Chains A and B, each alone.
Chain A
Amino acid sequence: GNSVTQMEGPVTLSEEAFLTINCTYTATGYPSLFWYVQYPGEGLQLLLKATKADDKGSNKGFEATYRKETTSFHLEKGSVQVSDSAVYFCAPSGRDSGAGSYQLTFGKGTKLSVIP
């Protein structure tokens, strides 16, 4: 089956610091890759995605590049803000070999706290 290894948290950064959250995956076939974000007290929402090798997804200053050769999709932001404090989930979408359908597999999440 599919699996995700995501950087353990929690991560605490000062405002304007550089952020990297590592994510590597295993998946059947050629997955699409997603980062979801969960703000306190809310459900998950899509942050960015990439659907093929070397694609770069970007949104709200966050970026992640689909690296097929290293099966990685690391999340980066050059200058974090207090409002970025949230839990971030890496999620490949790959074909489930058993069911034959595409399924999202979520990492365990990385909690980011940004302090002023």
Chain B
Amino acid sequence: EAQVTQNPRYLITVTGKKLTVTCSQNMNHEYMSWYRQDPGLGLRQIYYSMNVEVTDKGDVPEGYKVSRKEKRNFPLILESPSPNQTSLYFCASSLRRGQGSYEQYFGPGTRLTVT
């Protein structure tokens, strides 16, 4: 089954304790992206990757890191989490098409709470 998986689905942690949220897709997609969803703000892009070893900042990259060593995986790293990073996080992937008409496939989400 074609899908995007994220782990963990739920995470409660404390300020400053490094964490990684994993994302994996089995569709051989080139493009992958991380979003955060907050009430009243919709979805905001954190980082994206156009291909292996190619990553770039989205709208809200501060406090996050990513890596793209393999095509299927795109982990999100919080080196020193803070309470304002409490949010619902989504990973997404898509084929890259020249005219930009690609559809993004989303993971089920990771609910992160930082105390």
A104 contacts B99, CB within 8 Å?
A: no
- Please measure, in the bound complex, the distance between the C-alpha atom of A66 and the C-alpha atom of B105, giving whole angstroms: 22
Of the candidate stretches A11-19, A40-48, A69-77, A78-86, the one touching chain B is A40-48
For chain B, the bracket of interface size reads: 20 to 34
Interface flags for A30-56 (1: CB within 8 Å of B; 0: not) read: 011010000000111110010100000
The answer to whether A109 touches B42 (Cβ under 8 A) is yes
Interface centre among A43, A51, A101 (most CB of B within 10 A): A43
- A106: B residues at CB distance < 8 A: 35, 42-44
Could you tell me if A31 and B100 are in contact, using CB atoms closer than 8 angstroms? yes
Q: Count of A-B contacts with CB under 8 A?
A: 54
Measured between beta carbons, the chain B residues less than 8 angstroms from A43 are 4, 90, 106-109
Assembled-state Cα–Cα distance A45/B107 (Å): 9
Cβ–Cβ contact A103 & B45, under 8 A: yes
CB distance from B27 to the nearest CB of A (A): 14
A107 contacts B42, C-beta separation under 8 Å: yes
B100 touches A89 (CB 8 A): no
A42 to B90, CA, bound (A): 10
Check B45 against A89 for contact (C-beta < 8 Å).
no
What residues of B have a CB within 8 angstroms of the CB of A31 in the complex?
A: 100
Contact surface of B with A, Cβ cutoff 8 Å: 4, 35, 40-45, 48, 50, 56, 90, 92, 99-109
